[in-house]
């Protein structure tokens, strides 16, 4: 049993915390079938996320890579005048 304090905070017992192998950080809190569920989440900076266009380019590049359609870096540099 745990008490909910005035700020609606609950302490997770160390034994349970350690058994779940979670780390300090963010959790998503949801209600499921009359119960509270917490799911660990990692903080993602908006600058670290791909735009839809960037994600499409990455998917295309991965398909090319799997198909063996690669070029040596020196050739790419020449084509781009780098």
CB 41 within 8 A of CB 26: yes
Residue 4 has pLDDT above 80, yes or no: yes
Q: What is the pLDDT of residues 21-40, one digit of tens each?
A: 777 788 889 998 999 998 88
Residue 45 has pLDDT above 80, yes or no: no
What pLDDT is recorded for position 26?
Answer: 82
Domain positions in the chain are: 46-79
pTM over 0.75? The answer is: no
Tokens 């005048």, residue located: 81
CB 66 within 8 A of CB 58: no
Put residue 77 in one of left, alpha, beta given phi > 0 → left and psi -120 to 50 → alpha.
Answer: alpha
Residues 6+ apart with CB under 8 A from 5: none
DSSP 15: H
């Amino acid at each position: 049993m745990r008490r909910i304090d005035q700020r609606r905070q609950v302490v997770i017992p160390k034994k349970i915390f350690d058994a779940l192998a979670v780390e300090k950080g963010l959790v998503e809190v949801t209600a499921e079938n009359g119960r509270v569920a917490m799911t660990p989440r990692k903080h993602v900076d908006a600058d670290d996320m791909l735009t839809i266009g960037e994600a499409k380019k990455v998917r295309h590049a991965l398909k090319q890579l799997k198909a063996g359609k690669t070029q040596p870096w020196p050739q790419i540099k020449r084509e781009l005048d780098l």
